Amino acid sequence: MKLDRHGRFIGRRLRSDRFFWFILAALAISLAWWFLDANNSGSWRGAGHKTGNVGPEDLTEISGIVLSRRNPGIIWTHNDSGGGPRIFALQTDGSPAGVFSLDNAVAIDWEDIAIGPGPSEKTDYLYLADSGNNNLSRSTITIYRVPEPLLEGRNPSSRITLTTAEALTFRFPGAPQECETLLVDPLTSDLYLVSRNRRSIGQETALVFHSRSPHQSGVTRTLELVARFSPPASIKGGDISRDGRLVLLRAHSPQRPGSALLWRRETEKAPLHNVFREPPRNFPVRREPQGEAIAFSPDSNFCFTIGEGLNAPIYRYKVPPIDTNQ
């Protein structure tokens, strides 16, 4: 056998080099297949069907979504902090359908958007939660309420200012909290905020805060802590079905596959927060970059998710059945 100048067998070194390049090639192929699979329009481990990609280039930090009640096939969404007090209307394929600015509103850290009833009967309202509080320095948070705009007859490229937004101000009982999930009960108009439990720093429990309807601007109300539960990852967004019977939350962690948590309300008269006393139905959703946004379709048979990033994909999922006795 031949030796190299360091006294090692050349054949052994060649075998070692070949093994190294074999492992490197295998890793490259695996990454390529993962990338293609994560971006195609089919299913991934049974989770999600891609309906399109977000079109507007200034919509890169989506934090919340909700499906329209007045405009069929429209998703309302918004950016996280730094995006200005604007809401975007998207088709479910991601194409733009309109941009609306909220007059006299501030976007410190908008975390979620919800839809539900409000002060005027037979009117659907959009609710924007300016509730981000990463360093827990905010003593109060604001939820903006505005009647849902009608898109019919509007130019998708138009930018319109909404002048009827109301600012509803809240404080937490005790220490400030960070909440990235807003829920509006369609049966009572009550508001719910769910805290983001930070498992990385030992916060295993998510807290549910409640404010009873009616709500009016110019008054700072103290939220009531009504429930707590232990999710598998940080709670990043959520929604309530149009009939008020289903509650959906998104649990996201960079270290875990994406998951959605589903609860069913026992009766229409039962307080919504009672659902958190029972374990949820867990079903997989895509692991998207900073995946936070999730919402029901108007018929509650499907739900949608969107992550962050330029031209982020939009995914639709079939909502699984849930057994109230599980």
Per-residue pLDDT reduced to its tens digit, 222-239: 999 999 999 988 999 999
Evaluate whether 285 touches 252 at the Cβ level (below 8 Å): no
Do 187 and 55 fall within a single domain?
Answer: yes
What mean pLDDT comes out for the span 299-323?
A: 94
Instruction: List CB contacts of 56: < 8 A, sequence separation 6 or more.
Output: 88, 90, 96, 99
pTM over 0.75: yes
On whether residue 290 sits in a domain, the answer given is yes
In the predicted model, is pLDDT for residue 324 greater than 70? no
| Host domain of residue 234 | 47-318
In the predicted model, is pLDDT for residue 266 greater than 60? yes
On whether residue 325 sits in a domain, the answer given is no
Q: What is the pLDDT of residue 258?
A: 80
Which amino acid is present at 173?
P
On whether residue 270 sits in a domain, the answer given is yes
State the burial class of residue 34 (Cβ atoms within 10 Å of its Cβ: 0-12, 13-18, 19+): exposed
Do 158 and 12 fall within a single domain?
Answer: no
On whether residue 287 sits in a domain, the answer given is yes
Nearest C-alpha neighbor of 206 from the set 178, 245, 173, 171: 178
Do 9 and 77 fall within a single domain?
Answer: no
Do 1 and 83 fall within a single domain?
Answer: no
On whether residue 326 sits in a domain, the answer given is no
Do 205 and 119 fall within a single domain?
Answer: yes
Do 200 and 246 fall within a single domain?
Answer: yes
Q: Best-predicted range by mean pLDDT among 172-181, 191-200, 251-260, 315-324?
A: 172-181
Q: Which of 25-29, 67-71, 197-201, 313-317 has the lowest mean pLDDT?
A: 25-29
Do 1 and 125 fall within a single domain?
Answer: no
Considering the chain, what is the average pLDDT of its residues? 86
In the predicted model, is pLDDT for residue 31 greater than 60? no
On whether residue 265 sits in a domain, the answer given is yes
Q: Which of 35-44, 84-93, 276-285, 289-298 has the lowest mean pLDDT?
A: 35-44
Distances (CA, A) of 251 to 85, 133, 246, 286: 26, 18, 16, 11
Do 11 and 77 fall within a single domain?
Answer: no
Q: What is the CATH number for 113?
A: 2.120.10
What is the phi/psi pair of residue 77, to 5°? -150, 180
Q: How many domains does the chain have?
A: 2
Q: What is the pLDDT of residue 326?
A: 45
On whether residue 221 sits in a domain, the answer given is yes
What mean pLDDT comes out for the span 297-319?
A: 96
